[in-house]
Structure 1
C-alpha cells in the first residue's frame, strides 16, 4: 500500500497515530520505499521540520509529551513550548496552568516546529493545537509568563502578557505572582 502526503494528513484526523510532515516537495512522492523511508528520517532531523504529533501527556503549563514520527518509527518526544515559562509543580497556579494546556492539547494532533534542544534534552518548539499557537494561548489567558530569554524572538507575546496582567487574567489575579525562574532560584537556594 502506498501513501501520499494528502492521504497521511487526512488519516491523522481519523487516527490517533501521529504522522511526520516536513516542508519538502519530495514528501508528495510515495514514501513506502526504502528511499522514501530514508528521506523521512532525514527530514525528521531538519530543524525547520514541521512535525504533526499526538500529544499524549502534559507535564506542566509549558511542557508536554508527544508521539511523533513516520508510521512504524514513532518516538516519544518531550517538548517545551518556546517563548513561555509556566508555574512549576508545587508553585502557586501550577495546576490551573497545566489544566489549561491539557484542555487545549491533550490527546489531539499538534503541529510542532522544533527550534533547539534544552539542557534537559527536551525540544524547545513552537506548538499549535487545534489551530492555536500554544504560547499565545497560555500567555493571553494568564497561564504563563513570557520567558525573558526568548522575548526578542516572540515580540507578539509581551503585549499579550501586558493585557492579561491589566485584566487580572489567570495568575495575574494574584497580587504578587512569582515568575517561575525566581521560584526555581529560591527553591535551589533553600536546600
Structure 2
C-alpha cells in the first residue's frame, strides 16, 4: 500500500514537472521577425518560433502586411523579450504573450491598427480589452483601418487556398485533354470525335493552340 502511494506521488510530481517546463516562460533576444505576428527568440542557444497570441496581422502579400512586419520589428528586433506561452500550434510554434520594455507586444500591435483580434482563438478575459483597442484604432482610422474595407487575413488565406485548388483543377483538366492530328489531312480532332483514333491520327497535341500553331486545322465535325 505504501509502495503504491509512493509511486503515485512520484508520478504526480513528474506530471507537475513536465507541465511546468512545458509552460515555462521564454526569455531571450529577438533574432528574427517573419511577419507582424511571428518572431524568433534566441534563448540559451536555442531558437523558438513565436506566434503572437490572440492577434492576426495582415499577410505579407496583403495591404499593410509589410507595415505590420516593420512595426513589430521596430518594437522588438534585437531586444530581449519575455514570452509567456499559451500553447503550441500545429506548426510547432509557441503561441504566447510577448512582453518588451514593460509593454505587451500583442496589445501594441492592435492599438497601432496593424492587427485584428483573433476571435477564433482569443478567449481570455484580456481579449475584451484588446477588442476595445481594436475598436479605437478602427474609429481613428489608423493603420490598416485607414482602408475603407480591409480584408481579415483568415479570409485572405481561405481565398488563396480556394484559388490554388481551382488553378490545380484547371491545370489537371487541361493536361488531361489531348488532341490527335491527322498527318495526311493536317486536321486535328478532339476526344470523342469519330476520327479521333483514325489510322493517320498519330500526332498528339496537348492544347488547341499547339495544334493550330503547328499548322493543323480544327475538325469541322467535332469543332475542337
Task: Give the drift of 1:101.
Answer: 0.2
- TM-score under structure 1 length normalisation: 0.73
Which position in structure 1 is the counterpart of 2:154?
181
Q: Is the CA contact (8 Å cut-off) linking 1:140 and 1:164 kept in structure 2?
A: yes
Matches within 5 A, 1:59-98: 59-69=34-44, 74-98=45-69
Q: Does 1:101 align with 2:76?
A: no
Q: Does 1:46 align with 2:19?
A: no
Q: Does 1:130 align with 2:105?
A: no
Aligned residues: 146
Task: Give the drift of 1:52.
Answer: 1.2
CA distance in 1, matches of 2:122, 2:21: 26
CA distance in 2, matches of 1:190, 1:145: 23
Highest RCO, 1 vs 2 (Cα 8 Å, sep ≥ 6): 1
- TM-score under structure 2 length normalisation: 0.62
Gaps of 5+ in 2: 1-16, 165-224
Secondary structure of the residue that 1:137 maps to in structure 2? helix
Gaps of 5+ in 1: 1-40
Secondary structure of the residue that 1:172 maps to in structure 2? helix
Residues 123-152 of structure 1, C-alpha deviations (whole Å, 9 max, x = no match): 001101121101100000001100012332
Secondary structure of the residue that 1:162 maps to in structure 2? helix
Q: Is the CA contact (8 Å cut-off) linking 1:83 and 1:146 kept in structure 2?
A: yes
Q: CA RMSD in A?
A: 1.6
Secondary structure of the residue that 1:87 maps to in structure 2? coil
